[in-house]
Structure 1
Amino acid sequence: MTGTATSTGTAASGAGTAAAHRDAAELAGFGYRQELHRSMGRYASFAAGFSFISVLTTVFQFFAFGFSFGGAAFFWTWPAVLLGQLLVAACFAELAARYPLSGAIYQWSTRLSNPSFGWFAGWIMVIGQIVVVAAAALALQVVLPAIWSGFQLVGGDPAPTSASGAANAGLLAVVLLALTTVVNLLDNRVMSAVNRIGVTAEIIGAALIVVLLLTHTERGPGVTFHTGGQGGAIGALLVGSFTAAYVLIGFDSAGELSEETRSPRRTAPRTILLALASAGVLGGLLLLGGVLAAPSLTDGRLATEGLSYVLTSTLGDGPGRLLLADVAVAIAVATLAIQTSGSRMLFSMARDGVLPAAAPLAKVSARTGMPTGPALVVGTGAAALCLLNLASPEAFLAIGTTCIAMLYLAYLMVTGPMLLRRIRGTYGTGTGLDETGRPLFSLGRWGLPVNALACLYGAVMTVNLAWPRAAVYDPAGGHWYFQWFTLLFLTVTTGAGAAWLAVRARRTTKGEALR
């Protein structure tokens, strides 16, 4: 028995070593060394995408906003956005099978277009990810004070739209970012374990909340055909869609962590789609349950306190606060996952030497397998953005919508060149094999129509999100810069990127002249 067990263990170890060598050899084919530790399996890859999406974090964070503008009818924006994002995810799944590399958006866009265009896609994406980390950390304000008033460290009004609530959100977010940065510096096995445990707790918690809400309904589903918000049916579709648009992003994280995933050509495409589909179903049910179980749709509390109000009012303080604690865990894990994803994007660009301070940003700890410099940059940058909340409550919404618009634009900078290649007939047939010897994930003859619809959807949503609506971004008036915050931030981001490329080109020219 002992001999048999030993031989079995030896065989398994040998197979694992052979797989590791195979994955490292495939990475070398792209010109990169295996520096990150490849220890993530299928569930860890799924958890990376699901925790970035984090339905509990984002639905609780933006439910009140969507309802305040669209009323109960804003629920229908969810399936519309989910369908659009599934089109994008299908395109990304194809690319994840072909190019299993860290810094997925940057790598994919570069290979589909040219280095300069790909650089801008990566630059916009990584800045957007830093903003998303900040927005996710700010979500703690939506749940912690509702669990215990002692978490309200500043002032007495916990609403994120109030001055004291916004300031408190900034402080809680900075504390959380300090913790997630520490985890991102430890070891990728620790990070992955925290992520898996957190995602499991989030899925169980979300399913339980859905069941409890749907068994405590106050009205029928027909109410979702009535807007009752600020903008009528059109407002529900355009502004109310911000909730779904914010939630259903980040599914590409499974691709971002490809160099840490075993058999990534087979694993990443499937976990990208599975993470988005499962989050889409759970999130849609959460929205529906919240609308149907709310004690009132007209007393104004649902439009300001969101799902936290529904849980504590419908289920009672005890069960409601217990479930909110699970939401707080989901927020922490989501912040960790998004910070990890942004760190990998920075690392991927830095090792190509296309960023300032590229050498320290590209350094990977041999002991932990983690790029420490990028984790510190993403954590520090997000914390600085969170402190904007100390200046004005409007910063909360400005930060949230800016990051969505930036990620949508970065996604479009992948699907756009991909569509051009398909039209020109230079995209390729995708006849390669994955690690198991099976054909790579491919859309086949559906590739062109799916890609075209993904581009159209991405372009429309990017414009919708960036449109400077005063009623959305500066409802109190007097802060024109918040109304135009998204466009201003995008302009500054692209301007800074263009300036760096010009400086880098000048240095390259001088270096070549000296030779």
Structure 2
Amino acid sequence: MTATAPPGVRQDEAGTGPRDSVALAGFGYQQELHRTMGRYASFAAGFSFISVLTTVFQFFAFGFSFGGAAFFWTWPVVLVGQLLVAACFAELAARYPLSGAIYQWATRLSSPAFGWFAGWIMVIGQIVVVAAAALALQVVLPAIWSGFQLLGGDPAPTTPTGAANAALLAVVLLVLTTTVNLLDNRIMSAVNRVGVTAEIIGAVLIVVLLFTHAERGPGITLHTGGQGGAIGALLVGSFTAAYVLIGFDSAGEMSEETRSPRRTAPRTILLALASAGVLGGLLVLGGVLAAPDLTDGRLATEGLSYVLTSSLGDGVGRALLADVAVAIAVATLAIQTSGSRMLFSMARDGVLPCSALLSRVSPRTGMPAAPALLVGVAAAALGLLNLASPEAFLAIGTTCIAMLYLAYTMVTGPMLWQRLRGAPVAPADGPLHDETGRPLFSLGRWGLPVNALAFVYGVGMTVNLAWPRAAVYDPAGGHWYFQWFTVLFLAVTVALGAVYRTGRARKVTSTLAG
């Protein structure tokens, strides 16, 4: 199968040189996406999906409200668990450098049907994550300037006016990110790189300022002070870290747009998660130490925005919040891009409705336009649920985390099964070296224990996130559907997938019989 460079794109930019294009053709695919991303751009893809500024600012108040200062200790627990998962993904990224990584990996480690459900759950989860990320603008923009509270009233995301305003801001942001996703691969990558650089600089600056304005010592983290005891801090408080530390697989999702992906993607997957994990943990700790008061209730409702504007002054605090707003916009863009690549990967295998349209790539831009539009419109529709009730904000956020954790487990599970039965996790005729001639990334003899721990951790966290706790999902009472929202959404997602696959199988059978 021969790949040719799109018009106006050099051979090396399109990734159609002798190594990357031949490797992709070995999997049965043509080079259609433009291969313009280097190492930093690949790192930025994973880091911007994680986006510590977006997610820590979005969920800090929630974690503190349940676990008090002790919820900080959930951070290293979740980080270690996710690093185990990322190590498994790094091995697979070196051996299967393909777009739609979760779908591709699960399919090749198990069966086409199982892989399809992994991809289906992942892409629906990604759409929900896009909506949740866009809704995070409400946490920072009204704190920068009251004029961003377009509907007036209380800007807190948990209030009716704050929730409704969050929906409006989210729709505006999604229009912008969808436009960028339609322009050009190089423009999208450049925006991502600039945004990630600004986010890293801003995060480091915020960490330094928080620690230099500390009001108390780190010993305070040994006290919960929230709505639960130690177990509550670990289980419910872990939602913050669980939400932040996802999306590192995006470096793998963008493999077909990355130069030398067998070498680059495994390292950027691990680097993106490790660097985000360290920065995020320091942000959480710094926020607890620098908060003016831990008992007045503001930290549990306003989160880090309150700490910045109160401890650092309005001018500095608002300037830093502007950087957070940039990080939120770039994170929304990156997540939308990742979701569109998952749709594209599944569609080109002909396993989705309207596959011909969803798999079409513009030769000029190197971008699959239809998937980007679909993800943007679907995310906007989910974001508008916030107009109905402020509880939708938390329901949407925790649902997307649970779905991604389940999809991750649908990769580490089959991978573990292959290891236990002594089968290789790599293609039988696959290369042993990356594009530089060095051995492919491998866990070696640590593969089995790391894989086993990653799978157990993933199952446990998925159950923890989806558990229908009334105190978490329906604190006011009377909304049973919010309490069970995550479970119901997962069930509906699987059921719709099963209905589609059953109907498709019957159609294929009747066509063959006819």
- The alignment's TM-score, normalised by the length of structure 1, stands at 0.96
Residue equivalent to 2:244: 247
Residue equivalent to 1:468: 468
Shift, 1:22, TM fit:
1.6
Residue equivalent to 2:491: 491
Shift, 1:413, TM fit:
0.1
Q: Is 2:130 aligned against 1:133?
A: yes
Shift, 1:15, TM fit:
7.6
Residue equivalent to 1:262: 259
- Cα deviation digits, residues 358-379 of structure 1 (max 9, x gap): 1100000000000000000000
Task: Give yes or no for contact 2:91–2:443 (8 Å, CA) kept in 1.
Answer: yes
Residue equivalent to 2:180: 183
Residue equivalent to 2:167: 170
Residue equivalent to 1:4: none
Between the two proteins, what is the percent identity of the paired residues?
84
Q: Distance in 2 between matches of 1:513 and 1:22?
A: 43
Residue equivalent to 1:308: 305
Q: Distance in 1 between matches of 2:13 and 2:153?
A: 56
Q: Distance in 1 between matches of 2:11 and 2:59?
A: 49
Task: Give yes or no for contact 2:207–2:283 (8 Å, CA) kept in 1.
Answer: yes
3-state SS of paired residue (1:499): helix
- Cα deviation digits, residues 159-190 of structure 1 (max 9, x gap): 00000000000000000000000000000100
Shift, 1:297, TM fit:
0.3
Count of matched residue positions in the alignment of Structure 1 and Structure 2: 502
Q: Distance in 1 between matches of 2:100 and 2:148?
A: 36
Task: Give yes or no for contact 2:14–2:34 (8 Å, CA) kept in 1.
Answer: no
Q: Distance in 2 between matches of 1:70 and 1:233?
A: 7
- Cα deviation digits, residues 406-459 of structure 1 (max 9, x gap): 000000000000000000001257871100111100000000000000000000
Q: Distance in 1 between matches of 2:15 and 2:93?
A: 22
Q: Distance in 1 between matches of 2:319 and 2:12?
A: 44
Q: Which amino acid aligns with 2:32?
A: E
Q: Is 2:201 aligned against 1:204?
A: yes
Structure 1 residues 152 and 17 mapped into 2: Cα distance closer, same or farther (>3 Å)?
Answer: closer
Residue equivalent to 1:34: 31
Is the deviation greater in 91-100 or in 503-512?
A: 503-512
Shift, 1:17, TM fit:
8.6
Superposed, which structure 2 residues align to 1:358-397 within 5 Å? Answer: 358-397=355-394
Task: Give yes or no for contact 2:15–2:257 (8 Å, CA) kept in 1.
Answer: no
Q: Is 2:288 aligned against 1:291?
A: yes
Q: Which amino acid aligns with 2:414?
A: P
3-state SS of paired residue (1:116): helix
Q: Which amino acid aligns with 2:55?
A: T
Q: Is 2:153 aligned against 1:156?
A: yes
- Cα deviation digits, residues 333-379 of structure 1 (max 9, x gap): 00000000000000000000000011100000000000000000000
Structure 1 residues 18 and 141 mapped into 2: Cα distance closer, same or farther (>3 Å)?
Answer: closer
Shift, 1:20, TM fit:
2.5
Q: Which amino acid aligns with 1:455?
A: F
3-state SS of paired residue (2:17): helix
3-state SS of paired residue (2:361): coil
Task: Give yes or no for contact 1:20–1:262 (8 Å, CA) kept in 2.
Answer: no
Task: Give yes or no for contact 1:71–1:229 (8 Å, CA) kept in 2.
Answer: yes
Residue equivalent to 1:107: 104
Q: Which amino acid aligns with 2:422?
A: G
3-state SS of paired residue (1:20): coil
Shift, 1:134, TM fit:
0.1
Q: Distance in 1 between matches of 2:422 and 2:263?
A: 25
Q: Is 2:445 aligned against 1:445?
A: yes
Structure 1 residues 255 and 392 mapped into 2: Cα distance closer, same or farther (>3 Å)?
Answer: same
Structure 1 residues 16 and 36 mapped into 2: Cα distance closer, same or farther (>3 Å)?
Answer: closer
- Cα deviation digits, residues 375-411 of structure 1 (max 9, x gap): 0000000000000000000000000000000000000
Q: Which amino acid aligns with 2:284?
A: L
Q: Which amino acid aligns with 2:445?
A: R
Shift, 1:488, TM fit:
0.3
3-state SS of paired residue (1:326): helix
Structure 1 residues 39 and 431 mapped into 2: Cα distance closer, same or farther (>3 Å)?
Answer: closer
Q: Distance in 1 between matches of 2:283 and 2:77?
A: 16
Instruction: Select 1:230's aligned residue among 196, 221, 227.
Output: 227
Q: Which amino acid aligns with 1:226?
A: H
Is the deviation greater in 279-288 or in 423-432?
A: 423-432
Structure 1 residues 238 and 185 mapped into 2: Cα distance closer, same or farther (>3 Å)?
Answer: same
Q: Distance in 1 between matches of 2:293 and 2:14?
A: 59
Task: Give yes or no for contact 2:121–2:494 (8 Å, CA) kept in 1.
Answer: yes
Residue equivalent to 2:6: none
3-state SS of paired residue (2:19): helix
Residue equivalent to 1:356: 353
Task: Give yes or no for contact 1:351–1:359 (8 Å, CA) kept in 2.
Answer: yes
Shift, 1:155, TM fit:
2.7
Task: Give yes or no for contact 1:418–1:427 (8 Å, CA) kept in 2.
Answer: no
Task: Give yes or no for contact 2:167–2:383 (8 Å, CA) kept in 1.
Answer: yes
- Cα deviation digits, residues 96-126 of structure 1 (max 9, x gap): 0000000000000000000000000000000
Task: Give yes or no for contact 2:415–2:425 (8 Å, CA) kept in 1.
Answer: no
Task: Give yes or no for contact 2:98–2:254 (8 Å, CA) kept in 1.
Answer: yes
Superposed, which structure 2 residues align to 1:417-436 within 5 Å? Answer: 417-428=414-425, 432-436=432-436
Structure 1 residues 222 and 435 mapped into 2: Cα distance closer, same or farther (>3 Å)?
Answer: same
Q: Which amino acid aligns with 1:174?
A: V
Q: CA RMSD in A?
A: 1.2
Task: Give yes or no for contact 2:56–2:284 (8 Å, CA) kept in 1.
Answer: yes
Instruction: Select 1:96's aligned residue among 87, 93, 96.
Output: 93
Q: Is 2:504 aligned against 1:504?
A: yes
Q: Distance in 2 between matches of 1:15 and 1:261?
A: 11
Q: Which amino acid aligns with 1:260?
A: E
Task: Give yes or no for contact 1:104–1:256 (8 Å, CA) kept in 2.
Answer: yes
